[in-house]
Structures are given as structure tokens and as C-alpha cells.
Structure 1
């Protein structure tokens, strides 16, 4: 089983995107669309003060009849950010995401932000591991040489 750090290292890009709390929700949506991501960390003076997701936008702007050009990130962000350490397993990450109904998890190394995992990153990794195990079992059953671990 892989760790959060290993999954991060396997991602094609390890960029971390963020926005300040005083930015408009419209600016945040533009950045998310440009980068094809579903969440941004909200950072102020180097500290993580929240996370903003597409879900926050849908529930706290659209459904409350606000406008994204006049609403600030600080007004709709989720302030209680749940994160994981780089050495935590993918199973632990998935359990946290399921328990707290999250789609994104920042990964921290002490006080240092090292990346962001999405539910898609974890599912992709789990599928890859399962495919490897299935291939190994098929080779074992058929008696053909198999890949070494």
C-alpha cells in the first residue's frame, strides 16, 4: 500500500494552487477552471486558513442567491481544513475522505504543505494496485512467469 507522499510523487504535476481569502469567488472559479481542478487552498501570510471547493460554491453562492463577483472567498471557504501527513497510507486517506465527505486533502510534512490529493488521485492509485495484483494472480494461476515485486 502506498503513502500519500508516494501518490503525490506519481502525479503528472505537483503544483499547489491557492488563493487569498480576500479574493472574489469569481477569481477563484477562474483559477480552478484554468487549472482544471476542483479546489483551492486559501492561504494568508503563508498559513492555510481554509479550502474552497466547487461544492462550497454550489452550496454557498448559487443556492444562497449570491453572486461570485461580489462574494469573497473568506465568506464561503471551509475553515476547518483536514489534512494528512505524507507517511499516511492511501487507505487512511480514503477513510478520512469518506468519513468527512471530502474530495481533497492537503498533504503536510510538519508545518510545510507538500501537495494536495484528490479523491481521483487515490482512486487511480487503488485501481493501479488492484490491476497489478490481478495480473500477478493470473500469472500464478496460469503457471507463466510473473513480474517480481
Structure 2
């Protein structure tokens, strides 16, 4: 997949759920549940400070038995982010996900956050692309591919 991840962002949109570092874990979890997402970007005046994921909630909040109402995201967010650029190929993005063991990749251009891609987004694109290729091959086999020589 040599196509850039910007193709996925163009389809998906660039809306990113975000909260400030002083927001509570409870607020983040509520937002994640309402929107059925697994991560929220932590922004401080438009600058990415980290990401808070379902994994962070389990390992850094629940396992430590922290109070979700009084614990700020800044205390439990992931600070070391694997980020990609919009020109990063989908294949490269999948390699980053695999190598870093992450499920969410912020798409950044310099200091500007352009979007957030999940493993689900990447896999969905691959499945749709494979389905399209299969349909083209079936059409080719049945003689329905390309310009007609009879017309």
C-alpha cells in the first residue's frame, strides 16, 4: 500500500476528540464511550501533550485503583507518541503500529495535528482495497473489464 495515510483522513475526516491535560479521567472515559472511540488526544492550547487510551485507563488508572473523578489526564496519559505524517504510506503506518505496539497514530504536519488514525481505520482501508481488487479481477475474468472490443 503505497497510498498515503492522507487518503484515509480524507475519507474519515479530521475530527479528533481532545481534552486538556487537566480534564479528569472520568470526562475522558465518558467522551470515549459516547463516541465509541478508544483514544482521546490530550491538547494544551492546540499543542499535543499526549494521548489517553483504553489501555491507559486499564493499566494506569484501574490497576492502580485511582479515583477517575480526581485524576487528571496529565497524570496517566501516554506522553511518548508514535506519530506519522500525512505523506506516510499506509504500509509504513502499519509497520509503525506493529513495531511500536500502539493502536492509534496521530497524523502530524510539524506541530499541527491533522487527524488520528486507528488500527481499525488502517485495516478497514486494506479490506476495502482488497475487495475492490477482487471485483476488478472477477470483472476481468468475465470479460467485463476495460473497453469493449465489440462495440
Normalising by the residue count of structure 1, what TM-score does the alignment of the two structures yield?
Answer: 0.91
Aligned to 1:14: 14
- Contact 1:43-1:49 within 8 A present in 2 as well: yes
Larger radius of gyration: 2
Shift of 1:146: 4.9
1:102 matched to 2:96? The reply is no
More deviation, 50-59/104-113: 104-113
Shift of 1:15: 1.1
Q: Which runs of 4+ in 1 moved over 3 A?
A: none
Which runs of no fewer than 5 residues in structure 2 stay unpaired?
Answer: none
Shift of 1:65: 1.5
Which runs of no fewer than 5 residues in structure 1 stay unpaired?
Answer: none
Aligned to 1:42: 42
- Aligned pairs, number: 146
Q: CA RMSD in A?
A: 1.5
Aligned to 1:5: 6
Normalising by the residue count of structure 2, what TM-score does the alignment of the two structures yield?
Answer: 0.90
Q: Distance in 2 between matches of 1:46 and 1:14?
A: 14
